[in-house]
Amino acid sequence: MLNLQLFLFILSHLSYCALAATADQWRGRSIYQVVTDRYALPPNAPNSTCDPGQQTWCGGTWNSITANLDYIQNAGFTAVWISPVSQNWEGPRTPYGDAYTGYWVQDISQLNEHFGTSDDLKALSSALHSRGMYLMVDVVINNVMALSTKPDYSNYFLKDASQYHPYCPVDWGNRTSEMNCWLGDTKVTLPDVNTTNPTVVSAYQQWIQQFVQEYSVDGLRIDAAKHVNADFWPGFCQAAGIFCMGEVFGNDIGECAEYQGVMDSVLNYPIYDALVQAFQIPGPGNMTGLVEVMKQSQQSYRDVTVLGNFLENQDNPRWTNISVDPQSMYNAITYNFMSDGIPIVYYGQEQRLNGNNDPWNRGPLWPTGYVNSSTYQLITTLNTFRNFLVNTTDWATSNTSVLTIGPNELAIMKGSVISVLTNVGSPPQNSSIAVYTPYPQSAALLDIFTCVQYAVGSNGAVEVSYASGGQAVVLIPSVYLAGSGLCGYTKNANIKVNNKGSKGSLESSAPATAGIPSLIAMALVSLVFATSSILVS
């Protein structure tokens, strides 16, 4: 009986892997998002000041990212998303400063010299791969950048004016206009590429195929994806041959789901909005709204487990700017790590950088000294735990469900993990929440943050108190923590991530036998699970 279960367990993993391998590989990853110009200074560079208000280059390069990967990997991240690498418009300062973020693309087929050479980018890619990490590159397809509504395109990748839509300002809410008209304004225009033109389609496909191969890229973050006709993306992502995650700005789940229909994943803007509404302090504290968005997402998307979950990015305010109490971020970030989707942390979030919108949300990281801050430690714990669950169980593909909802509390469960979240903030409260769990009486659950043990009561309930403030609590039966490296359990170094039937660029560098020990490890772990669930139930 047990042997049959084991056999089915292994079989289900093997057959699962054969489908949609690249999204499957990314599902268990955890992404650190970097604006190349702002992450780190090159070695030996003077400790220069960088005023984000100046909107100019501060000196970060691909080499300086490569030299500072320990900081990212030590926090448990398994992938890095870097800002666009393509050549940008070069010229006099615009009313909005210089092209330091990389989104003002002119020739997508050339690299941006401000950030390094072709060899430097290759070195970053191989440094990540040798650490077992993935490289995600941000690409801007929808538009280029110019300073007029009738630009001279002779220095652009697409040189013919007929390859662009004629100028019109976007009429928001009109989808045709959102796709064909120009983002930006008339001071800095973003000429809209005609992505239905067959010459454009094939030029982009040839470029991306060659680019992904040359730099061994593992995933793409696609800027302004919803401003491009949806039927452009399947051919483009197929030519790329790797995981595609599109930016579909706004809280319209239907629109996001439509774009996940044409690429692997989208950034989870609807959940981001709901998290702000639920956890921001002061704020509406709308926990029922978060649950509604979560349930509607599960019904609408093709696959919620590969969406990109975030709290900050280069277009939205830093969380700490809109909600100063650190517990508000800690609870919201725990939702992103412990529910469905791929967690994304924007550089500097771990140091609680506090700028508002563009350009204040793009401050330099170096003034923080890259210290092991309490936020950095919390994120490290979440990554360590999630990597462990992902490496050893099918947690990543399991569904999140709601256990208990209170006026200021929400308890969710994904796989065997229960996360109890609150928006009451740091001050001690004379309150607690009873969370109804499926675990039997006297089962011992551990909180991964404090390692405090919670005993399940007679009705399956666990009582979480806020007497020392509104901290997030993440509970798992203590027997399941063996091998995790958390709460005194030693880390089982032999359990490695399983690159299930990779079709991504890591495949070639992975030893041919890598899958076999990990299958044995999974089988052993499932034995432990089978045994412990018998003990618990």
How does strand 432-436 pair with strand 461-465?
Answer: antiparallel
| Residue 55 annotated in ligand binding | yes
Q: What is the DSSP letter of 186?
A: S
Omega before residue 169 within 30° of 0, cis: no
> Is 303 in the active site?
no
Are 419 and 473 in contact by the 8 Å Cβ rule? The answer is yes
Chain residue at closest Cβ approach to ligand NAG: 289
d(CA 396, CA 418): 14
Are 145 and 89 in contact by the 8 Å Cβ rule? The answer is yes
| Residue 29 annotated in ligand binding | no
Count the alpha carbons within 13 Å of 526 in the hemisphere toward its beta carbon.
21
Q: Would you say 113 or 292 has its CB closer to ligand NAG?
A: 292
Span 381-440, contacts to ligand NAG by CB under 6 A: 387-388, 391, 397-399, 430
Site string for ligand NAG, 77-116 (x = CB under 6 A): -x--------------------------------------
Does 33 interact with ligand NAG (rule: CB under 6 A)?
no
The encoded tokens of residue 33 equal 């998002």
Which of 37, 192, 223, 325 is catalytic? The answer is: 223
Does 497 interact with ligand NAG (rule: CB under 6 A)?
yes
Does 373 interact with ligand NAG (rule: CB under 6 A)?
no
> Is 247 in the active site?
yes
d(CA 139, CA 82): 10
Does 469 interact with ligand NAG (rule: CB under 6 A)?
no
What's the min distance (Å) between Cβ of 427 and ligand NAG?
13
Does 300 interact with ligand NAG (rule: CB under 6 A)?
no
Q: Would you say 57 or 489 has its CB closer to ligand NAG?
A: 489
Does 132 interact with ligand NAG (rule: CB under 6 A)?
yes
Does 181 interact with ligand NAG (rule: CB under 6 A)?
yes
Q: Would you say 304 or 473 has its CB closer to ligand NAG?
A: 304
Site string for ligand NAG, 314-333 (x = CB under 6 A): ------xx--x---------
Read off the amino acid at residue 481: L
* 369, 508, 512, 537: residue in contact with ligand NAG (rule CB under 6 A): 369
Are 462 and 454 in contact by the 8 Å Cβ rule? The answer is yes
Which of 98, 138, 247, 325 is catalytic? The answer is: 247
What's the min distance (Å) between Cβ of 284 and ligand NAG?
5
Which DSSP helix (H) or strand (E) runs through 446? strand 444-447
d(CA 223, CA 259): 13
* 12, 149, 155, 174: residue in contact with ligand NAG (rule CB under 6 A): 174
Secondary structure in 3-state letters for 78-110: CEEEECCCEEECCCCCECCECCCCCCCEEEEEE
> Applying CB under 6 A, which part among 225-233, 353-361, 403-411, 458-466 lies near ligand NAG?
353-361
Does 47 interact with ligand NAG (rule: CB under 6 A)?
yes
Does 372 interact with ligand NAG (rule: CB under 6 A)?
yes
Give how far the C-alpha of residue 534 lies from the chain's centroid of Cα atoms, to the nearest Å: 36
d(CA 150, CA 3): 70
Radius of gyration of the chain (CA): 23
* 33, 180, 216, 505: residue in contact with ligand NAG (rule CB under 6 A): 180
Environment class of 19 (CB within 10 Å of its CB; exposed 0-12, middle 13-18, buried 19+): exposed
Count the alpha carbons within 13 Å of 176 in the hemisphere toward its beta carbon.
0
Count the alpha carbons within 13 Å of 469 in the hemisphere toward its beta carbon.
11
d(CA 265, CA 256): 9
Known binding residues for substrate: 55, 104, 221, 315, 362
Active site residues: 223, 247
Q: Using CB under 6 A, list all residues that contact ligand NAG.
A: 47, 74, 78, 132, 165, 168, 171, 174, 176-177, 180-181, 194, 196-197, 277, 284, 286, 288-289, 292, 298, 320-321, 324, 354-356, 360, 366-367, 369, 372, 377, 387-388, 391, 397-399, 430, 484-485, 491-492, 495-497
